[in-house]
């Protein structure tokens, strides 16, 4: 079945509103700004997200059409040839909820703190060119003057700690961090400035400052292999460094609930701002990239970036891709880089690390297409 026929048929099974585009360049949807066309790119609106996703996945499975679930595209290297089948963007499925037990702690009004300036990568910025798909409606302003996502229920958290805060999977992680910070809720500060979405962070078990997101995760709701929404409590034994039980499964994460202590709003704000500033100072946002290319294997006794630095590979350039001169584990798109350029740098680094130190570097980045 063609993707055109699949899309037409899917709409007879569940209503769709949102963005749909054929042959959509994935370079618009990755923080690397790299990637060829997806046969069909779909970004269902919040209102139809779950029902349409379930219908689409069921049909696609029957028709053997692959579907790739896209978060913020912050950990992806999409092939120059693009992605066959469907890319389903979770980016409209946003929102936050707070467990309410009739407490009386009011949520603070949103502050107007500035977002990180992703000057280099327009696909990060809000509103994003992700939403500027030809023929699509422009992104509508959020319900809230500041948060780019609606609050599912805006109620009072219970007085006792910790509070349980849930985020829909398409919520940008940095927005989630800012939202809890603005409400005097602590715990997520270390994830400030992390590119991507909550769904991607949980799927990847993102780790910042020696802290994996699984440590704060209470439960996850996902569409399981039978396309039923399932809420599963966190089994910490199923998570490990950059590993989650969702990897290797055919599921869609819908919501993640975190257990977070209340804290001093001023201190939380200070720490979040410091974490964002540290990322900026480390050059994370100077050029398009997908963050660290390789995992940090503790058995090597040093971070992957240090190994790459010792190999003398910093600054090495192939085509438009370059090993960041300031960070051995980052490959940057200096302009016009192809996935092939990046792939060649990765392979070369792996070979050199093995020849020189006997280390088999393990990729963190996910290859798609």
Ligand X SMILES: Cc1cc2nc3c(=O)[nH]c(=O)nc-3n(C[C@H](O)[C@H](O)[C@H](O)COP(=O)(O)OP(=O)(O)OC[C@H]3O[C@@H](n4cnc5c(N)ncnc54)[C@H](O)[C@@H]3O)c2cc1C
Catalytic site positions = 292, 364
Q: Check: CB of residue 105 under 8 Å from CB of residue 262.
A: yes
> How many Å apart are CA 28 and CA 275, to the nearest integer?
27
Q: How distant is the alpha carbon of residue 291 from its chain centre?
A: 11
Assess 333 for contact with ligand X (CB under 6 A).
no
Instruction: Give the residue, chosen from 7, 49, 120, 203, that forms a contact with ligand X under the rule CB under 6 A.
Output: 203
DSSP secondary structure letter of residue 124: T
Instruction: Give the residue, chosen from 10, 27, 33, 90, that forms a contact with ligand X under the rule CB under 6 A.
Output: 90
Assess 369 for contact with ligand X (CB under 6 A).
no
Assess 91 for contact with ligand X (CB under 6 A).
no
Q: Provide the pairing of β-strand 37-44 with 83-89.
A: parallel
> Nearest distance from residue 107's CB to ligand X, in Å?
25
- Tell me which stretch binds ligand X (CB under 6 A): 19-27, 49-57, 195-203, 312-320: 195-203
Lookup result for tokens 């919501």: 255
Contacts of 143 (CB under 8 A, 6+ apart): 150, 151
Q: Three-state SS string across 43-79, please? A: EECHHHHHHHHHHHHHHHHHCCCCEEEECCCCCEEEC
Contacts by 54-61, CB closer than 8 A, 24 or more apart: 54/14, 54/223, 54/227, 55/10, 55/13, 55/14, 56/6, 56/10, 56/14, 56/86, 56/88, 57/223, 57/227, 57/252, 58/13, 58/227, 59/6, 59/9, 59/10, 59/13, 60/6, 60/10, 60/85, 60/86
Instruction: Give the residue, chosen from 26, 252, 311, 339, that forms a contact with ligand X under the rule CB under 6 A.
Output: 252
Lookup result for tokens 């809420």: 231
> Nearest distance from residue 75's CB to ligand X, in Å?
4
Assess 85 for contact with ligand X (CB under 6 A).
no
Instruction: Give the residue, chosen from 169, 183, 186, 234, that forms a contact with ligand X under the rule CB under 6 A.
Output: 169
Q: Which is nearer to ligand X, 6 or 204 (CB)?
A: 204
Q: Site residues for ligand X, window 337-366 (CB under 6 A)?
A: 366
> Nearest distance from residue 129's CB to ligand X, in Å?
16
Assess 206 for contact with ligand X (CB under 6 A).
yes
Lookup result for tokens 């016009």: 336
Q: Which is nearer to ligand X, 183 or 221 (CB)?
A: 221
Number of residues forming the site for ligand X (CB under 6 A) = 31
- 42 has which bridge partners? 20, 88
- Tell me which stretch binds ligand X (CB under 6 A): 34-42, 56-64, 95-103, 206-214: 206-214
Assess 207 for contact with ligand X (CB under 6 A).
yes
Q: How many CB atoms lie within 10 A of CB 126?
A: 13
Q: How distant is the alpha carbon of residue 59 from its chain centre?
A: 26
Instruction: Give the residue, chosen from 53, 197, 214, 272, that forms a contact with ligand X under the rule CB under 6 A.
Output: 197
Binding-residue pattern over the window 98 to 137 for ligand X, x denoting contact by CB under 6 A: ----------------------------------------
Q: Site residues for ligand X, window 287-326 (CB under 6 A)?
A: 289-291
Assess 74 for contact with ligand X (CB under 6 A).
yes
Assess 196 for contact with ligand X (CB under 6 A).
yes
Interacting residue ranges for ligand X, rule: CB under 6 A: 31, 68-76, 90, 169, 194-197, 199-201, 203-204, 206-208, 252-253, 284, 289-291, 366
């Amino acid at each position: 079945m063609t993707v055109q026929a699949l899309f037409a048929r899917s709409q007879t099974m569940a209503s769709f509103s949102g963005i749909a585009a054929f042959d959509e360049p994935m370079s618009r949807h990755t923080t690397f700004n790299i990637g060829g066309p997806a046969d069909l790119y779909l970004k269902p609106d919040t209102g139809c997200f779950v029902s349409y996703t379930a219908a689409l996945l069921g049909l696609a499975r029957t028709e053997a059409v692959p579907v790739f679930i896209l978060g913020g595209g912050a950990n992806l290297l999409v092939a120059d040839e693009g992605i066959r089948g469907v890319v389903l963007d979770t980016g409209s499925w946003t929102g936050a909820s707070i467990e309410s037990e009739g407490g009386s702690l009011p949520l603070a009004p949103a502050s107007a703190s500035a977002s990180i300036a992703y000057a280099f990568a327009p696909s990060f910025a809000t509103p994003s060119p992700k939403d500027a798909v030809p023929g699509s409606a422009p992104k509508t302003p959020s319900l809230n003057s500041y948060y780019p996502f609606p609050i599912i229920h805006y109620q009072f958290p219970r007085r006792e700690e910790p509070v349980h805060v849930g985020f829909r999977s398409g919520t940008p992680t940095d927005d989630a961090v800012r939202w809890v910070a603005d409400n005097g809720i602590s715990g997520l500060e270390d994830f400030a400035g992390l590119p991507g979405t909550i769904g991607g962070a949980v799927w990847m078990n993102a780790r910042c400052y020696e802290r994996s997101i699984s440590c704060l995760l209470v439960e996850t709701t996902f569409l399981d292999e039978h396309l039923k929404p399932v809420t599963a409590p966190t089994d910490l034994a199923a998570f490990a460094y950059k590993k989650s039980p969702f990897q290797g499964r055919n599921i869609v994460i819908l919501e993640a609930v975190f257990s977070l202590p209340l804290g001093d709003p001023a201190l939380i704000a200070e720490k979040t701002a410091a974490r964002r500033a540290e990322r900026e100072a480390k050059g994370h946002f100077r050029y398009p990239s997908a963050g660290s290319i390789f995992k940090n294997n503790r058995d090597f006794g040093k971070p992957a970036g240090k190994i790459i630095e010792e190999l003398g590979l910093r600054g090495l350039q192939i085509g438009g891709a370059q090993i960041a001169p300031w960070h051995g584990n980052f490959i940057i798109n200096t302009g016009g880089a192809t996935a092939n350029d990046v792939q060649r740098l990765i392979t070369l680094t792996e070979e050199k690390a093995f020849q020189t130190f006997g280390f088999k570097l393990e990729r963190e980045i996910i290859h798609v297409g």
